[in-house]
Structure 1
Amino acid sequence: MEIRPITHVLFDMDGLILNTEDLYTVAFQNVVSQYGKEYTFELKLKLMGSQSHETAEIVVSNLDLPITPEEFMKQTEKQFELLFPDTKLMPGVKRLIEHLHKNNVPIGLATSSSLKSYELKVNKHHKELFSLFPYKTMGSSDPEVKRGKPHPDIFLVAASRFPDKPKPEQCLVFEDAPNGVKAARAAGMQVVLVPDPRVDKSLTTEATLVLKSLEDFKPEVFGLPPFDK
C-alpha cells in the first residue's frame, strides 16, 4: 500500500497506548462468568472500538445474558474501578508521543472511552504523558461522536479539533484493532496498526502499515522528523 507524507497524528488509546485491552478482558470475563458464559477473543474483536453502550449491547446479545445492557455496564464499571487505575504503557509509545511533541507535530487523542473511563486509566500514573495531547476526543461521552468504530466519526471529529483543520489525507492514525483500521480508512486517513498477535492476518490488510510494536515505527517513513540517533 502506498505510504504518503502526513502532517498530523491521531492516537487510539486502549490497547495502543495503554494495556487496557487485557484489563477489559478480565473485567468482562468476571461479569459473564456469573452467568456461565465465556468472553472469547472472537467476541472481543467484534466490539473493539465500540462506544460503551454499543459494547454492552453486543456482549449481552451475543452471549444471551439474562441482564440488560444497562445492567452489564453497571457491573463492568465496578470492575473497571478496581482494574483501571494501574494501567501500564505499551512498548515504544512514550518515546513516540514525546518525540512528536518535541518536534511540534500536531497530535490528538481519539479514544472510544468515556471521560470517566479515561480519567480512571490515566490519572494515577500517566497524567504527564497525556498532558502532551492538546486535543482529546472521548467517543463514549462526546456528543459529536454519533457512532463508534468501525464508523469514521471519531477520527473526523478528532481531526476537526486541530486549529488548522487538516484534510483527512494529512492525518495518520495509530490503532490496535481491525475496527479502528476500518474507521480510519473510512475517514480517508492512513493508519498504522499494532495488532494483538492473536489477530488473524486477513483482518489487517486494510492498514497502511502493520507493526509488531511501536518500538518498530520509523517516523521518517511518513515524512515526520526521525528519532534522534
Structure 2
Amino acid sequence: MDGTVLDSEHMYHKIIKEICDKFNKKYTNDLEIKMYGETDRAICLTIVKELKLPISAAEFELQLEHLAQNLLPSAPIQIGAERLLTHLHDCKIPMALATNSTEQAVRLHATARPKLFGMFHHKVSVTDPEVAKGKPNPDIYLVAASRFRDKPKPIQCLVFEDSAIGVTAANEAGMQVVMIPDPRLDREQTRQATLVLRSLLDFKPELFGLPPFDAIPTRKSRID
C-alpha cells in the first residue's frame, strides 16, 4: 500500500522526523531507509532505542498514529498505480492488498479513496488475526493468496513491492515480485526481485502472462 499504491511512504517518515525533532533527535536518512517497509511497531521500537528517546515505543506509536490519521489520507496515488489497477480489474484479474500497515491505516485510505481500494478482492493487513508475523515473513502474502476464490499456488501470484523487506516476504512466500524501489535504496537491496522498474508506468503485463494494456476487456466492470 504505502510506497507502491500510494506515495505515502515519504509522508509517513516525515511525520516520524517531526516527532523526533520534538526531542531534538535526528532521524537520519540512513535510519529512514532502514525502516522502509517495516511494521509500525518495529519502527517505533527501533527509533526509540537507537535515538534514545525519552518516551516508550508505545507512546511513540500513539503519537505516530494520531498524526498519520490526519495527514496520510491526502497521500497522492503513485505514478502508474491507478492505470495498472484499473486495467487488471477491468480484465478480471483478481487482486489483493497485502500490507505491513495496520487495518486502521487501510480503512483510512480506503475511506479516502473508495473507488481505488474497491478494486481489490480483499485486503490483508499486519494486524489481521491470521497473520502471525509481518513482512519480511511471508505470512501476509500467503494469507492474501489463500483468500482468492481459486486458491492459487504461490508461484501463480505476482507481487508489487517498493521495499527490500517486502521483496524478502514475497520470495519467502514463493511468489514472483516486481520491485519499484525508492531511488535512494542501494542496488544490492533490489537484487532479489524478479524484475526492477523505475515506475509502474514501465510495467508490461504481458511479461507475466497478463493481458497487455491495449487489450480490450470482455466486459468492463463498474466500481461505485
TM-score (norm 1): 0.90
Partner residue of 1:75? 63
Corresponding residue for residue 200 of structure 2: 214
Letter in 1 for 2:119: L
* Counterpart for residue 5 of structure 1: none
Measured after TM superposition, the shift of residue 41 of structure 1 is: 2.9
Paired residue type of 1:133: F
Matches within 5 A, 1:61-210: 61-124=49-112, 126-139=113-126, 141-210=127-196
What corresponds to 1:29 in structure 2? 17
One-letter code aligned to 1:131: G
Letter in 2 for 1:43: L
Normalising by structure 2, report the TM-score.
0.92
User: Per-residue deviation at 1:122?
Assistant: 3.3
Runs of 4 or more, structure 1, over 3 Å off, are none
Q: How far 1:190 sits from its partner (Å)?
A: 0.6
| CA 1:98–1:106: 2 relative to 1, 3 Å | same
For the residues of structure 2 that align with 1:40 and 1:46, how far apart are their CA atoms? 10
* Cross-structure match for 1:223: 209
Partner Cα distance (1:154, 1:41) in 2: 27
Does the CA contact (< 8 Å) of 1:45 and 1:177 recur in 2?
Answer: no
Distance 2:29 2:199 in 1: 20
Cα offsets for 1:158-186 (capped at 9, x unmatched): 11111211111111100000110011001
Structure scoring higher RCO (CA < 8 A, sep ≥ 6) equals 1
CA contact (8 A) 1:192 1:211 kept: yes
Which residue matches 1:58? 46
Whether contact under 8 Å (1:49, 1:148) holds in the other structure is: no
Gaps of 5+ in 2: 216-224
Residues 48, 147 of structure 1: CA spacing in aligned structure 2 closer, same or farther, 3 A cutoff?
farther
Q: Deviation of residue 46 (structure 1)?
A: 2.7
Contact 1:51 1:147 in 2 (8 A): no
Tell me, yes or no, if the aligned pair for 1:49 and 1:179 is still in contact at 8 Å: yes
Gaps of 5+ in 1: 1-12
Which amino acid is 1:136 matched to? K
Aligned counterparts of 2:74 and 2:123: Cα–Cα separation in 1: 21
1 CA distance for matches of 2:194 and 2:176? 6
Deviation at 1:148, TM superposition (A): 1.6
Q: Deviation digits for residues 184-207 of structure 1, max 9, x if unmatched?
A: 001111100001111111110000
Tell me the percent identity: 48
